[in-house]
Structure 1
Amino acid sequence: MATPSQLDTPLIGLEEQPSAPLSALAGAQHLLASLAGIIAPTLIITSALSLGAYTASLLSMALVMSGIATWIQSQRVGPFGSGLLSIQGTSFSFVAALITAGLIARAQGATDEQVLAILFGTCLAGSLIEMVLGTILPWLKRVITPVVTGVVVMLIGLSLIEVGMTDIGGGFGAEDFGAPVNLALAGCVLITVLSCQVSRYPWLRIASIFLGMAVGCTIAAIAGLYDAPQLADAALIALPMPATLSSGFDFSLPAFLPVAFIFMITAIETVGDLTGSARASGLPVNDDVHQKRLRGGVLADGLNSALAALAGTFPNTTFSQNTGVIQLTGIASRHVGRYVAGFLLLLGLSPFIATLLTQMPRPVLGATTTLMFALIAVSGIRILMAQTIGRREMMIIALSLGLGLGVGMVPEVLSALPHAYSDALRSPITMGGLTAIIAELLLPQIDDSETLPATSYSGEVPDTIKADQEHA
């Protein structure tokens, strides 16, 4: 197990307080690394569920709640929070499950407000599960094994690629779907991202997704693809109105099952993120203090997701790319989290910024999200590659991927089941994840000397499983 002596000691430690200019600079770098990951899930969900009238409000609240959540996670409020320089934002992990839940509601004739009520009510109930799981982390690790986690992360990425590619074409129901201008705009974004990724400058790699979106939006603005009247009417500063004021809360069991399962996975992902942040901060990760940080961090994840649902936005979780920012800057001070929280709050209080982001052309968003979704799947593969894969593990992976992807491609196969079951199991995440857990618990261990070559697994959750921010 790594100790501080084995790690690079940061220039500014966890409890040290850098000057205001230095803190602001470090905070801006964390913001740059995480902003695209915060805004993209909301844009994807509202586009897929035709909730355009609520996009600006949801986006403003997402930024505001990310600021509040970052404050709680980094500063620690009572038992909630890790006390590390850890940034929170809207989680990509929930996108597929929430889209599935919304589509189920749409199929039953739900209005925009009813769809939102189900999403918020489901997320509020699921957040309570994560807070409970924060107290039983050792048991959870035995049930949600790396094989299960790897399969679920792969399914999250693979099930979302269709959404990204649809946006590249122009978006759901676009009259100019597949037009050359849409494909060219998406191509410019991808070229920018890839150029940054192969650069020798670390900050270009960290900000590659953000810069790709910025270049795409600039080109779109020059081409006149932004809605100028809406931008002109948007106020610079105003208090956002929570969508829950008009939608309220509702609950649907078919919608809840995949979301609850993702909350379980998110709890494990948070453990990996916080362990990575602790190592980057030069702190030990094998003592009681670290275990307290982990419990507080998972509790904060659940609390912040509950607050997000009450405020009218989607679940929050820790971002892994900010660990890389700590390593690059050498600043591990948790006081920087206050500046990041402040920046996010200011962005969330600006309707102009929210409107600017909601007017982002679909091909720009689709190019970046398709790449990120594919990276989510790659992250799942990396988790599995870190294990010793024998015949038992191969069967678990094959069975889970086969059934998970299968019901996603041919949902009609479940049409004979009662709606409560068929609607829930049509989610590739639910079907594949449950299959993996059941197989992990029931299949006996096999004495298999013929295993595929793999690096040994240390027993800790890899930092790479926070796939919704893997682009950094």
Structure 2
Amino acid sequence: MTQDAKTAQGKNLDLLYSLHDKPGFLPSVFAALQHVLASLVGVITPTLIVGGALGLGEHVPYLISMALMVSGVGTFIQCRRVGPIGAGMLCLQGTSFAFLTAVLSAGFIVKSRGGTPEDILATIFGVSFCAAFIEIFLSRFVHKLQKVITPVVTGTIIILIGIPLIKVAMTDIGGGFGALNTDSFGSLDNLLLAGIVLVSVILLNRSRNPMIRLAAVVIGLALGMLAAFLMGRLDFSHIASLPLISIPVPFKFGFQFDLAAFIPLAILFCVSAMETTGDLTANSTISREPVKGPVYINRIRGGVLGDGVNSMIAAVFNSMPSTTFSQNNGVIALTGVASRFVGIYIAAILFIMGLFPIIGGVLQTMPKPVLGGATLIMFGTVAVAGIRVLSQANLDRRNMMIIAISVGMGIGVSAVPNVLQALPDTVENILKSPVAMGAITAILLSLILPEGPAEEEEADVKADEQAGEGKKKLGEVG
């Protein structure tokens, strides 16, 4: 055995199946089901939230079916790698929470003009289709994008994605947007249902069993649904009217474009490219694959291109933008299965689930407080992820100022949208999005306020201090 072969064998000792291995049918199905379980809530929840907040009602089961089917197709492309498209690794593709704030803003813009649910969906998918080309373009030089989309900008944007969504989760806990002006909003029954889910997810997340932790949200929602059934809060009467099979129809609701809705989504596709780069790097590390060099760069470009192409496909077939899921890296580490061929089984399971609208119909019956109890944790986690990104940046005076102003502007327009009412309608609609306002502010300040000698010297001192503390902690551990 050559030295290179010995090295490769040593690197993969903790993997049952490495990237190019082909597990048998049963191991593949078992590993695929674990990935689906870990990602299912993430795939369907954005559609449930958008459907409830924008009053899309009868269209929700079909939209959930499309989300599942598109996630299956996207996963296949990422894992199989079609030409230059796809990372060629075990990457699960799904509907992204990152775009949820912008999608809701787009929907409310159309709704405020008196648009029908079909108009809302036509605009959301039309704008998403156009914005996906931003990520497709950026995939060719994504490794250079870090000069503009810095950790300070990325962390700020992620925080501004999470915080407004917490308001959506709290509204669902109270009973949903449809109950806002009724006496039932905030009733004890609603709070009880949300509390059951919230407490269940917290307790399950503290389990020592890693599979229980991965399935905590799914189990919590199931317990919430059971409690709702016992309280007489579930109504399955509409399921009988659903078709047996969902048929994908390109741009089923039409195609419309709105510049005010496009700008926030375009910005988020830039951020999504950076997030996907991080997720694919983590995936490469766990899969014991290179994290530098031409092979790595080629995978990153293919993966980001896959995100853009899959989001374009999603828009064509009536689903929201998608991205590579980071939680599935944890499943790879847990199972020791990094084989990209397992992705084909994941894709098949998701696609088959999407064929049956009854799945979406059952999920649509979920009371809003049950959904809110789970999404409160999920959206809070999004905001915390932004804080984590910022903690890895050099928080000198310049960067602290950028973060403070950008977060302040983003949350400010979310809390007091009327402050922009004197601006032209298109500009107002763009800047009313907390993500757009915060992102534009952070990027402009990063370009206008270059790092000076004082900041660089302070950064060097801080780096030396952190290195010294790290060595000290290592010494203590030793």
TM-score normalized with structure 2 length: 0.92
Give the aligned partner of residue 396 of structure 2.
Answer: 390
Deviation at 1:109, TM superposition (A): 1.6
1:355 equivalent among 343, 352, 361? 361
Q: Structure 2: how far apart are the matches of 1:26 and 1:300? A: 23
**RMSD of aligned Cα (Å):** 1.9
Give the aligned partner of residue 409 of structure 1.
Answer: 415
Give the aligned partner of residue 441 of structure 1.
Answer: 447
Q: Structure 2: how far apart are the matches of 1:197 and 1:28? A: 19
**Is the CA contact 1:386–1:456 (under 8 Å) kept in the aligned structure 2?**
no
CA offsets 1:267-317 (integer angstroms, 9 cap, x no match): 111111111111111111112111111111011101111111100111111
Against the structure 1 CA distance between its residues 431 and 454, is the aligned structure 2 distance closer, same or farther, given a 3 Å change threshold? farther
Q: Structure 1: how far apart are the matches of 2:200 and 2:267? A: 35
Equivalent AA in structure 2 for residue 163 of structure 1? V
Q: Structure 1: how far apart are the matches of 2:206 and 2:233? A: 29
1:221 equivalent among 201, 223, 229? 229
Equivalent AA in structure 1 for residue 194 of structure 2? A
Q: Structure 1: how far apart are the matches of 2:105 and 2:329? A: 31
Q: Structure 1: how far apart are the matches of 2:387 and 2:249? A: 38
Against the structure 1 CA distance between its residues 426 and 296, is the aligned structure 2 distance closer, same or farther, given a 3 Å change threshold? same
Secondary structure of 2:211's aligned partner: helix
Give the aligned partner of residue 118 of structure 1.
Answer: 123
Matched, 1:198 2:194: no
Secondary structure of 2:177's aligned partner: coil
Give the aligned partner of residue 317 of structure 2.
Answer: 311
Against the structure 1 CA distance between its residues 234 and 221, is the aligned structure 2 distance closer, same or farther, given a 3 Å change threshold? farther
**Is the CA contact 2:282–2:329 (under 8 Å) kept in the aligned structure 1?**
yes
Which aligned pairs between 1:229-244 and structure 2 lie closer than 5 A? 229-234=237-242, 237-242=244-249, 244=251
Against the structure 1 CA distance between its residues 112 and 296, is the aligned structure 2 distance closer, same or farther, given a 3 Å change threshold? same
**Is the CA contact 1:387–1:454 (under 8 Å) kept in the aligned structure 2?**
no
Q: Structure 2: how far apart are the matches of 1:77 and 1:456? A: 47
CA offsets 1:45-64 (integer angstroms, 9 cap, x no match): 11111111211111110000
Q: Structure 1: how far apart are the matches of 2:67 and 2:464? A: 39
**Is the CA contact 2:149–2:271 (under 8 Å) kept in the aligned structure 1?**
yes
Secondary structure of 1:259's aligned partner: helix
Deviation at 1:133, TM superposition (A): 0.5
Against the structure 1 CA distance between its residues 163 and 232, is the aligned structure 2 distance closer, same or farther, given a 3 Å change threshold? same
Matched, 1:211 2:219: yes
**Is the CA contact 2:99–2:268 (under 8 Å) kept in the aligned structure 1?**
yes
Q: Structure 2: how far apart are the matches of 1:124 and 1:243? A: 12
- Structure 2 unaligned blocks of 5 or more: 1-6, 468-478
Q: Structure 1: how far apart are the matches of 2:323 and 2:151? A: 19
Q: Structure 2: how far apart are the matches of 1:440 and 1:375? A: 26
Deviation at 1:457, TM superposition (A): 11
Deviation at 1:241, TM superposition (A): 4.7
Against the structure 1 CA distance between its residues 87 and 450, is the aligned structure 2 distance closer, same or farther, given a 3 Å change threshold? same
**Is the CA contact 1:8–1:280 (under 8 Å) kept in the aligned structure 2?**
no
Deviation at 1:234, TM superposition (A): 4.0
Deviation at 1:170, TM superposition (A): 0.6
Deviation at 1:240, TM superposition (A): 3.2
Deviation at 1:215, TM superposition (A): 1.1
Q: Structure 1: how far apart are the matches of 2:213 and 2:413? A: 36
- Structure 1 unaligned blocks of 5 or more: 459-472
Give the aligned partner of residue 292 of structure 1.
Answer: 298
Q: Structure 2: how far apart are the matches of 1:307 and 1:52? A: 23
Secondary structure of 1:16's aligned partner: coil
Give the aligned partner of residue 288 of structure 2.
Answer: 282
Secondary structure of 1:416's aligned partner: coil
**Is the CA contact 1:270–1:318 (under 8 Å) kept in the aligned structure 2?**
yes
Q: Structure 1: how far apart are the matches of 2:153 and 2:56? A: 33
Which aligned pairs between 1:141-180 and structure 2 lie closer than 5 A? 141-174=146-179, 175=182, 176-180=184-188
**Is the CA contact 1:154–1:378 (under 8 Å) kept in the aligned structure 2?**
yes
Equivalent AA in structure 2 for residue 345 of structure 1? F
Give the aligned partner of residue 338 of structure 1.
Answer: 344
Equivalent AA in structure 1 for residue 44 of structure 2? I
1:51 equivalent among 32, 56, 81? 56
Q: Structure 2: how far apart are the matches of 1:239 and 1:154? A: 36
Give the aligned partner of residue 326 of structure 2.
Answer: 320
Larger Rg: 2
**Is the CA contact 2:149–2:443 (under 8 Å) kept in the aligned structure 1?**
yes
Deviation at 1:454, TM superposition (A): 7.9
Equivalent AA in structure 2 for residue 238 of structure 1? I
Against the structure 1 CA distance between its residues 129 and 306, is the aligned structure 2 distance closer, same or farther, given a 3 Å change threshold? same
CA offsets 1:330-362 (integer angstroms, 9 cap, x no match): 000001001111110111011211100111110
Secondary structure of 1:417's aligned partner: coil
Matched residues, number: 454
CA offsets 1:215-274 (integer angstroms, 9 cap, x no match): 111211222211122234445x413354832x2101000000001111110011111111
Deviation at 1:153, TM superposition (A): 0.2
Q: Structure 2: how far apart are the matches of 1:78 and 1:127? A: 19
Deviation at 1:139, TM superposition (A): 2.6
Equivalent AA in structure 2 for residue 183 of structure 1? L
Equivalent AA in structure 2 for residue 226 of structure 1? L
Q: Structure 1: how far apart are the matches of 2:15 and 2:85? A: 25
Secondary structure of 2:94's aligned partner: strand
1:428 equivalent among 417, 434, 451? 434
Q: Structure 1: how far apart are the matches of 2:464 and 2:313? A: 40
1:271 equivalent among 264, 268, 277? 277
Matched, 1:80 2:85: yes
Which aligned pairs between 1:60-75 and structure 2 lie closer than 5 A? 60-75=65-80
Equivalent AA in structure 1 for residue 437 of structure 2? M
Against the structure 1 CA distance between its residues 456 and 48, is the aligned structure 2 distance closer, same or farther, given a 3 Å change threshold? farther
Deviation at 1:456, TM superposition (A): 9.7
Q: Structure 1: how far apart are the matches of 2:24 and 2:402? A: 52
Give the aligned partner of residue 141 of structure 2.
Answer: 136
Secondary structure of 2:386's aligned partner: helix
Which aligned pairs between 1:14-29 and structure 2 lie closer than 5 A? 14-29=19-34
Q: Structure 2: how far apart are the matches of 1:120 and 1:81? A: 22
**Is the CA contact 1:32–1:207 (under 8 Å) kept in the aligned structure 2?**
yes
**Is the CA contact 1:120–1:249 (under 8 Å) kept in the aligned structure 2?**
yes
Deviation at 1:171, TM superposition (A): 0.5
Q: Structure 2: how far apart are the matches of 1:147 and 1:52? A: 39
Identity %: 46
Equivalent AA in structure 1 for residue 31 of structure 2? A
